[in-house]
Amino acid sequence: MPGLDWNTSVADEIGLNIGLMQYATAANGSWVVLQQPLLEPSFAFFGWVFLFDWVLGNREVVPQLYTTGTQPLQTATQILYYLVVATSIVLVTVGGIVLIYAVKSRFRFNGVNLFFFNRIAGASFY
């Protein structure tokens, strides 16, 4: 039995779908998930080196449980990105309202209160 066939059959038997994954950005700005199966015949040597490093404890493995769809981690990352953008927009809006109030009151307010702006504005909207 050739070595490459054995590598493929081990990966099929184990069924772990072990591989490398990296997020990247395409030239047009879209997000892409790059994946490389470790025991693919063209990558077998390097795959076994990665597995050996993992067994020795030099590398960590992160399991991806309960993932469905073609790129579920990318979807979760995009959701978090949009939540950060929405929070930033709300904070800038509240900051603008506070600035307008400060100008209308001719800056007669306690400036220490502005120190707590992010804590109060962030907590009150989410």
Q: 34-77: per-residue pLDDT in tens?
A: 888 888 889 889 988 988 888 888 887 777 665 555 556 667 77
Each residue of 8-19: pLDDT tens digit?
Answer: 555 555 566 778
pLDDT score at 28 = 93
Query: Has this prediction a pTM greater than 0.85?
Result: no
User: What average pLDDT does the chain have?
Assistant: 76
Largest CA distance in the chain: 85
Helix (H) or strand (E) holding 35: strand 31-37
Q: How far apart are CA 44 and CA 49, in angstroms?
A: 9
